[in-house]
Amino acid sequence: MTLQRRLLVLLLVAVPLIWAAAVVTSLLRTRQEIHELFDTQQIRLAQQVLTLVQARSAGGGEWGDARAAPLEGGSNLGEASLNDLSVAVWSADGRLRLADREGTSLPPRDGPSGFADVAIAGEPWRVYYLRSASREWTVAVGLASEERDEVLQGLLLGQLLPWLLMLPVLLVALVLVVRHALKPVRALASELGARGADDLHKVATGGLPAEVAPLVQAMNRLFDKIRSTLEHERRLTADAAHELRTPLAALRAQWEAAGVAADAEARGQAFRQVGDGIQRLERVVTQLLALSGVESRPDTVHSAPVDWQRVVQDALSDSLPLIESTGGEVEIEWPAEGAAPLPLAGDEALLTLLVRNVVDNALRYGGRRVIVRFAPDAVVIEDDGPGVTDEVLARLGDRFYRPPGQSAPGSGLGLSIVRRVAQMHGLDVVFAHAQPRGLRVTLRRGR
């Protein structure tokens, strides 16, 4: 279900329910107010009649019969209806002393003052009985319940009929408002739906509602990540295709040479070259997989502190075959007692890969002695090799870059992996000339 349809369903259900609840509340409140109004009028009328009766009795006036004089036919009563209101007065002996035409039908009642619901000629009436303090007189004022209901219905119809007629208009207005409010969302959906698979440019956030803008901004960040990942993959694929083409061609040539070798010695030499080519190809593939792995990982926030001793131990354990084959020597220098080596939170497996690649690079292309020096603010790795020129130094860390004239097998990816892992941990990699000779690689916090 679309967002627009969901909103419309909720509103078109909720609004009539709220409207109905408001109608019921208004009905109950109006009914209560009308009852209070008529009850008050009946009480006041009964008090006035009792006052008049007591005054006449005190003046010694004679009481006639209880029949009321009819109204003159020419009287202008307007919209008044006298058949729904009645008054009756009884003396202490229960005799009806005063009543209008309808009052003669009111039943007398013994007991305290108050309201009573009675039936007169089959119709419900609400009667208020008022007894004097001397219990000499009892006054009754009755009102037909139908009169109250007519007033209530008239008020409700006058108030609710316009609202009832406007309810469909209100619902139509809600539909139009929701459709207009969601117009930017529909435009955004149309724009995204019309895009091609490789169209990852940012979506403009201008004119979007405040609730939708954060979603679009998150989408733009996702597009940036996807575009960066695709660019990495394309570049890696292109570089890998270029880099693998050379060893594969060499392997094919060496294999063909072995097939046409004239003697066993030439054939053995060709097979040794094939083995060296396979070893180089294996290293290239291994480094490509390592680079792809570190470049596809996001720059996450690390919380676990790094144990540099364990990192160095694992890195040297991985590099042990190369150390033994080259006859190299790796020295580890820790900071003075009481000082911690470069406090850092990160992934120890990736940092092991970083240290191993720097050490391997130093052993393969540098000298025979490598020093890994830990300081409170940096990690420095030096070798005693011949070093590199300033031109080569400026390009160290580029993918597949190998200095010219290098004979040792390699892929040109080791230092690229070092840079990526360092970047993931907020470290800068600085390549410099060592003194008196060799290459120095320094890892320190980024500034």
Of 251, 275, 296, the one marking the end of a domain is 296
Question: Closest Cα to residue 4, out of 156, 142, 188?
Answer: 188
Residues 311, 289, single domain; the answer is: no
pLDDT value, residue 72: 44
Is residue 319 predicted with pLDDT exceeding 80?
A: yes
pLDDT value, residue 71: 40
Question: Closest Cα to residue 431, out of 382, 377, 384?
Answer: 382
Is residue 243 predicted with pLDDT exceeding 60?
A: no
Residues 110, 29, single domain; the answer is: yes
Identity of residue 88: A
Residues 433, 314, single domain; the answer is: yes
pLDDT value, residue 73: 43
**What is the C-alpha separation between 182 and 212, in angstroms, rounded?**
10
CATH number at residue 43: 3.30.450.20
pTM of the model: 0.45
CA 140 remoteness from chain centre: 68
pLDDT value, residue 442: 92
**What is the C-alpha separation between 349 and 429, in angstroms, rounded?**
18
DSSP structural state of residue 105: G
Residues 386, 242, single domain; the answer is: no
Residues 270, 315, single domain; the answer is: no
CA angle 71, 72, 76 (to 5 degrees): 95
CA 5 remoteness from chain centre: 20
**What is the C-alpha separation between 137 and 93, in angstroms, rounded?**
9
Is residue 128 predicted with pLDDT exceeding 90?
A: yes
Q: How many CA atoms are closer than 13 Å to the CA of 441, on its beta-carbon side? A: 25
Question: Closest Cα to residue 362, out of 330, 389, 393?
Answer: 330
| pLDDT 10s digits, 34-77 | 888 888 998 999 999 989 888 888 776 555 555 544 444 444 54
Q: How many structural domains is the chain composed of?
A: 3
Q: Which two tokens mark 68?
A: 């009321």
Residues 47, 160, single domain; the answer is: yes
Of 254, 272, 296, the one marking the end of a domain is 296
**Mean of the pLDDT values across residues 323-327?**
84
Handedness of CA 189, 194, 196, 199 (dihedral sign): negative
Residues 279, 340, single domain; the answer is: no
Residues 265, 375, single domain; the answer is: no
Residues 271, 379, single domain; the answer is: no
Lowest pLDDT segment from 145-154, 214-223, 251-260, 377-386 = 251-260
Q: Give the CA-trace dihedral at 101, 107, 108, 110, to 10 degrees.
A: -160
The reply to whether 193 falls in a domain is no
Residues 279, 306, single domain; the answer is: no
pLDDT value, residue 241: 66
Indicate the angle between helix axes 264-296 and 348-365, nearest 10 degrees: 140
pLDDT value, residue 295: 61
When pLDDT is cut at 50, 70 and 90, the band that residue 141 belongs to is very high
**What is the C-alpha separation between 281 and 15, in angstroms, rounded?**
72
Residues 216, 143, single domain; the answer is: no
CA 95 remoteness from chain centre: 81
pLDDT value, residue 44: 93
Residue 287 structural domain:
201-296
**Mean of the pLDDT values across residues 92-105?**
82
